[in-house]
Amino acid sequence: MIDRRQLGLAYLGLTLSALFWAGNAVLARASVGLIAPFALSFWRWVLALLILLPVALPHLRREWRIALSHWQQLAALAALSVGTYNTLLYLAAQSTTAVNITLVSATMPVAIALMARLLLGQTLNGRQWLGIAIAVAGVAIIVGRSQPSAAAGINPGDLLMVIAVLVWGLYSVLLRRRPLQLHPLTVLLFLIAFGLPVILPFYLWELRAGGGVTLSTATAAIFLFMAVFPSVLAYLFWNH
């Protein structure tokens, strides 16, 4: 029997996650020229870790042994979500619009449904397949419209977002496939801790190439918003 209250909270959480990630896309585009993409990804998660650590510490003390026994699963989830998805989004923002990012991101349910069919064997009915076909056609239109000239090719930012959505679909299904018997704060703490080393080599390469952060009130506000809303709150809501 489904708990209606829990189901209602889940729907609310999904809605707020989508809202926070839409803000993430807008600010990612607004930060172009101020914050390099790998720097944005790396320092966002460092700040999120510092914010989360005092709240999650009591749970970590109780569960760290259990969490370490699942380190391979946590590392894989971290690489897909913290390490790859958001970094691809910030790279995409360098060459496509915030609107395109959010429109392509809106097809996440399609990616999740396809991954669930492939990995979990979940069946899809005719209406669901029709919805998937319409969504895929919509993505093709978005990607094609951004570069109407055949000679111009596909906008690399839109293509990166398609890849990012597929990565997130895989993350979501793997998260559901083997649910972790850990407190949500412990899970998120380990996702960030395992995800940061994935980003670090690319951030160091970016620094050597001259990329970085222009420190200002505006960039500080961007980092603070991204650390609290798309990072800590959205991930907790989505994982729930």
pLDDT tens track for 29-44:
999 989 999 999 999 9
Cα–Cα distance measured from residue 235 to residue 212, given in angstroms and rounded to the nearest whole number: 26
pLDDT tens track for 51-87:
999 999 999 999 999 999 999 999 999 999 999 998 9
pLDDT band at 145 (very low <50, low <70, confident <90, very high): low
- Answer whether residue 227 shows pLDDT above 60: yes
- Answer whether residue 212 shows pLDDT above 70: yes
pLDDT of residue 201: 96
The distance in angstroms from the start CA to the end CA of the chain is: 18
Greater model confidence, 3 or 157: 157
Greater model confidence, 99 or 79: 79
Tell me which H or E stretch contains 179. none
pLDDT tens track for 4-19:
888 888 889 889 998 9
pLDDT of residue 166: 92
Q: What is the mean pLDDT of the chain?
A: 87
Highest mean pLDDT: which of 100-104, 174-178, 228-232, 235-239? 228-232
Asked if residues 13 and 240 have their Cβ atoms less than 8 Å apart, the reply is: yes
Write out the two tokens for 218.
């505006």
pLDDT tens track for 153-195:
678 898 899 999 999 999 988 888 777 888 989 999 999 999 9
pLDDT of residue 149: 42
pLDDT of residue 151: 44
pLDDT band at 147 (very low <50, low <70, confident <90, very high): low
pLDDT of residue 150: 41
Asked if residues 110 and 173 have their Cβ atoms less than 8 Å apart, the reply is: no
DSSP string, 72-123: HHHHHHHIIIIIIIHHHHHHHTTTS-HHHHHHHHTTHHHHHHHHIIIII---
